[in-house]
């Protein structure tokens, strides 16, 4: 039994006294406790060591006290499990020494046995649930197939992902085969996360906004939707696409429990585009957490007024930045908790 189930009730569309709140990347670099572990262990060691992953997941629950925990991991453990080498380079970020650039490269990519290749994630879920002690729900996550595809083909982060897009446009059959393999792996992975104890799932489409609306439908949304349809009978699913305001109507027409919104789309427009009948999550500009706490509080209350307290989860419009003072992150969380509807 979860003591604070506000997050789950908001996902279910129930009327609540105030919106629940959590922050994308809340288990991360803005916390001194996280940085202490980062200085001792490299990135993927932290991901692959259940005790470390559980500790990092629970840190923000103790320190800033959001209404949900999100498992510390990374979207790139999925391509690693598929036989694609992924490194985390200092001052570079994700680095894939042998990117997927041809049909024969796609053939070599495997759809793995999840328990065998990603069992450490399931162990981290079990430990995290134990440490949470039923205090708040636990969110599991994965990258969208398109976002994973971008890294697999580009070989690193990019401002345009033109190599990945070029692969889609010049070799569409091979591109769709790689996207299918990523989708099949992601479905199996997320189902195992739910079986292991995650209370909800979020799909991050970090690079969906790189595509035109037409190409988004072909190379991203149809694969996300396959994941949503596979997971929706088992758990609550949130879809978050950065820069994907143009697809909000389509996203809301499926079986997702909630749609994440970034800070470039107004609450009013997000409600309009989604028909006003689905839970929305977002969309405070992460950089705005550099404002004074009193300003943060005022802006958060205005944001909730604009979204409405029901069918809404307060969050950032993307991940929290590493230079945000902990007191400012706490001010964001506390502002939501202090909110009282004027209705």
Look at residue 96 and tell me whether its pLDDT is greater than 70.
yes
Q: What are the residues whose beta carbons fall under 8 Å from the beta carbon of 273, sequence distance 6 or more?
A: 245, 248, 249, 252, 265
| Residue 342: band (very low, low, confident or very high) from pLDDT cuts 50, 70, 90 | low
Share of the chain above pLDDT 70, in %: 99
Average pLDDT over residues 94-115: 97
Mean pLDDT taken over the chain = 97
Of 1-15, 288-302, 308-322, 328-342, the range with the lowest mean pLDDT is 328-342
Residue 223 placed within a domain:
yes
- Structure token pair of residue 75: 């979207």
Look at residue 333 and tell me whether its pLDDT is greater than 60.
yes
Residue 343 placed within a domain:
no
| Residue 89: band (very low, low, confident or very high) from pLDDT cuts 50, 70, 90 | confident
- pLDDT tens-digit readout, 222-278: 999 999 999 999 999 999 999 999 999 999 999 999 999 999 999 999 999 999 999
3-state secondary structure at position 75: coil
- Structure token pair of residue 229: 């349809």
User: pLDDT at position 91, please?
Assistant: 80
Residue 57 placed within a domain:
yes
Residue 139 placed within a domain:
yes
3-state secondary structure at position 65: coil
Average pLDDT over residues 285-313: 98
Residue 282 placed within a domain:
yes
Residue 1 placed within a domain:
no
If phi > 0 it is left, if psi is from -120 to 50 it is alpha, else beta; for residue 155 that is left
* DSSP category for residue 340: -
The answer to whether residues 129 and 202 touch, using CB atoms and an 8 Å cutoff, is no
29 is catalytic: yes
User: pLDDT at position 340, please?
Assistant: 82
38 is catalytic: yes
User: pLDDT at position 208, please?
Assistant: 96
Residue 46 placed within a domain:
yes
Total tally of structural domains belonging to the chain: 1
Residue 276 placed within a domain:
yes
From CA 162, how far away is CA 185, in angstroms rounded? Answer: 25
297 is catalytic: no
Considering 9, 12, 25, 105, which one is annotated as catalytic? 25
The answer to whether residues 208 and 241 touch, using CB atoms and an 8 Å cutoff, is yes
Domain hosting residue 32, numbered range: 6-338
- pLDDT tens-digit readout, 16-33: 999 999 999 999 999 999
CATH for 274 = 3.20.20.210
Considering 9, 12, 41, 74, which one is annotated as catalytic? 74
From CA 324, how far away is CA 290, in angstroms rounded? Answer: 6
Considering 9, 12, 38, 215, which one is annotated as catalytic? 38
User: pLDDT at position 198, please?
Assistant: 98
How many residues are there in the chain? Answer: 343
Considering 9, 12, 29, 310, which one is annotated as catalytic? 29
User: pLDDT at position 272, please?
Assistant: 97
Average pLDDT over residues 192-219: 97
Considering 5, 46, 48, 151, which one is annotated as catalytic? 151
| Residue 92: band (very low, low, confident or very high) from pLDDT cuts 50, 70, 90 | confident
User: pLDDT at position 286, please?
Assistant: 98
């Amino acid at each position: 039994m979860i003591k604070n189930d506000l997050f789950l009730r908001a996902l279910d569309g129930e009327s609540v006294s105030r919106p629940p709140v959590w922050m994308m990347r809340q288990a991360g670099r803005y916390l001194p406790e996280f940085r202490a572990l980062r200085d001792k262990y490299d990135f993927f060691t932290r991901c692959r060591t259940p005790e470390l992953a559980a500790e990092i997941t629970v840190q923000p629950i103790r320190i800033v006290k959001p209404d949900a925990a999100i498992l510390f991991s990374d979207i790139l453990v999925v391509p690693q499990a598929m036989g694609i080498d992924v490194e985390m380079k200092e001052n570079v970020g994700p680095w894939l020494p042998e990117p997927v650039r041809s049909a024969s490269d796609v053939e070599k990519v495997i759809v793995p046995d999840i328990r065998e290749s990603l069992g450490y994630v399931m162990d981290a879920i079990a430990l995290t649930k134990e440490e949470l002690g039923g205090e708040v729900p636990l969110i599991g996550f994965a990258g969208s197939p398109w976002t994973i595809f971008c890294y697999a083909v580009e070989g690193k982060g990019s401002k345009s992902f033109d190599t990945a897009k070029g692969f889609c446009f010049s070799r569409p059959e091979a591109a769709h085969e790689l996207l299918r393999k990523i989708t099949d792996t992601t479905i199996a992975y997320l189902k195992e996360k739910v079986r292991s104890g995650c209370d909800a799932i979020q799909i991050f489409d970090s690079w969906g906004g790189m595509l035109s609306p037409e190409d988004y439908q072909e190379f991203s949304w149809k694969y996300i939707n396959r994941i949503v349809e596979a997971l929706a009978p088992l758990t609550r699913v949130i879809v978050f696409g950065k820069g994907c305001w143009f697809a909000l109507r389509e996203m809301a027409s499926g079986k997702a429990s909630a749609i994440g919104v970034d800070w470039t789309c107004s609450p009013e427009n997000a409600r309009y585009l989604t028909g006003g009948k689905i839970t929305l999550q977002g969309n405070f500009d992460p950089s705005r957490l550099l404002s004074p706490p009193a300003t943060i509080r005022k802006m958060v209350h205005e944001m909730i007024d604009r979204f409405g307290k029901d069918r809404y989860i307060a969050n950032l419009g993307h991940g929290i930045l590493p230079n945000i003072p902990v007191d400012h992150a706490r001010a964001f969380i506390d502002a939501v908790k202090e909110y009282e509807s004027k209705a």
